[in-house]
Chain A
Amino acid sequence: DTGVSQDPRHKITKRGQNVTFRCDPISEHNRLYWYRQTLGQGPEFLTYFQNEAQLEKSRLLSDRFSAERPKGSFSTLEIQRTEQGDSAMYLCASSLARRPSTDTQYFGPGTRLTVL
């Protein structure tokens, strides 16, 4: 058990609806990452936070995607106006970045999104 939790584990929605996923990192970890993974591919980096600051968001897939980490603890990832191509596993990871070269990320179980 890595300690990172994600909710919900599965989400089925209709095209055009908004969805929000939550991630609770390992409690002492200051970094939190969001990834998307499609079948047969490795995780694709989307964005990350150090404490409450979002330090990288240029890799978010479109302006329909947004993420927050308001108090530096849990984070949410929102997808607006979902499309069928958004169907994927959304993974959250956290790390305690003492030294950049040893930033080991621990993943949560993921939220599987299906857009009908």
Chain B
Amino acid sequence: RKEVEQDPGPFNVPEGATVAFNCTYSNSASQSFFWYRQDCRKEPKLLMSVYSSGNEDGRFTAQLNRASQYISLLIRDSKLSDSATYLCVVNINNNDMRFGAGTRLTVKP
């Protein structure tokens, strides 16, 4: 089993749609969690951290379920500019960030 697993997609959605990405991780000792966004041929950029209580940043909502070792990202009212690959990231032990392979999203007009 991979340490961080994501549905690779691609997800093709129309503008304005709501889309959800899921991620599971295998190491129960994982300490912190993030979603990064990566545009084609660019570096990953932090989208948001994920907290146990769930957190929201504008159209983006992230949730963490430690019992199920599951992380989610919800994007509401999708924009064309949201098209990218979304990477689920798990910090194992303060120095070891494990990335999922990413979920590719294409938002179409």
Chain A nearest CB: distance from B8 CB in Å?
8
Contact A48:B95 (CB < 8 A) given known A103-B32, A109-B42: yes
* CB-CB contacts below 8 Å: A74-116 with B: 91, 97, 100-110
- Report how far A100 CA is from B99 CA in the complex, Å: 17
Tell me whether A33 is interfacial, beta carbon within 8 Å: yes
| Contact B101–A40 (Cβ < 8 Å) | yes
| Contact B31–A110 (Cβ < 8 Å) | no
Tell me whether B44 is interfacial, beta carbon within 8 Å: yes
Contact A100:B97 (CB < 8 A) given known A106-B46, A107-B44: no
Residues in B neighbouring A43, C-beta threshold 8 A: 44, 87, 99
Tell me whether B49 is interfacial, beta carbon within 8 Å: yes
- Report how far A62 CA is from B94 CA in the complex, Å: 23
* CB-CB contacts below 8 Å: B42-58 with A: 42-46, 49
- Report how far A2 CA is from B42 CA in the complex, Å: 12
- Report how far A53 CA is from B89 CA in the complex, Å: 24
Q: How many residues of A contact B (CB 8 A)?
A: 27
Among B43, B49, B97, B100, point to the contact of A2 (Cβ < 8 A).
B43
Residue on B with the closest CB to A49? B95
Chain A nearest CB: distance from B91 CB in Å?
7
Mark interface residues in B22-49 (1 if CB within 8 Å of A CB, else 0).
0000000001101000000011111001
- 29 residue pairs from A and B, CB less than 8 Å apart: A2-B45, A33-B97, A35-B99, A40-B8, A42-B4, A42-B89, A42-B100, A42-B101, A43-B99, A45-B97, A45-B98, A45-B99, A55-B95, A91-B44, A97-B94, A100-B31, A100-B32, A100-B91, A100-B94, A103-B32, A103-B94, A103-B95, A104-B34, A105-B97, A106-B46, A107-B43, A107-B44, A108-B43, A110-B43
Extra 11 A-B pairs, beta carbons < 8 Å, given A100-B31, A101-B94: A2-B43, A31-B95, A40-B8, A42-B99, A45-B99, A48-B95, A56-B95, A100-B94, A101-B91, A103-B32, A104-B34
Q: Which residues of B contact A (CB under 8 A)?
A: 4, 8, 31-32, 34, 42-46, 49, 87, 89, 91, 94-102
